[in-house]
Amino acid sequence: MKIIAAMTKDRVIGNNNRLPWDIPEELDWFHTLTTGETVIMGRKTYESIGHPLSDRVNIVLSNALHDQQGIHIASSLDHALDIANKYKNTTYVIGGVRPFTEALPRADELLISWVRHDYPGDTRFPPITGFRQVFYKAFEEFIFCRYCPQPGMNVHTRQ
């Protein structure tokens, strides 16, 4: 399981249940990485997008929604991972805070787009510990970094 997110240096990921920025190149990068794969998201993230993401298996964490065309509903991260495992492709957790928080101690990789400018926001990514940067690629408006667990860290017990 991988986590993929875009954020500012202050870990801002959202404002009023929306992305605080409009960076088409970053959205294209997200699309390239996740197309053909499985994405897990919280209900608020799904509602902010407004529809299932095309060409992906969409799993929404919710106790209120029911299965709909184009999405699977899961009551927990473990339930979502059970659904995802049936598809035998890469699984990405794409937001929001609660799914990120629950997935972070179990993630095999973090794929973070660090937005170069500051934006106000009311939603922040949880603190990142136990990972080391292994790759980066600079874009005009963001820097993409890949992080893996630090050597000697057990991915399922990392705090």
Nearest C-alpha neighbor of 92 from the set 149, 36, 150, 27:
36
Instruction: Check if the beta carbon of residue 8 is closer than 8 Å to that of residue 112.
Output: no
pLDDT the model gives residue 157:
45
Residue 118 lies in a domain: yes
What mean pLDDT do residues 77-98 have? 97
CATH code for the domain of 68: 3.40.430.10
Model confidence at 152, pLDDT cuts 50, 70, 90, reads low
Q: Is residue 8 part of a domain?
A: yes
Residue 22 lies in domain: 2-149
pTM comes to: 0.93
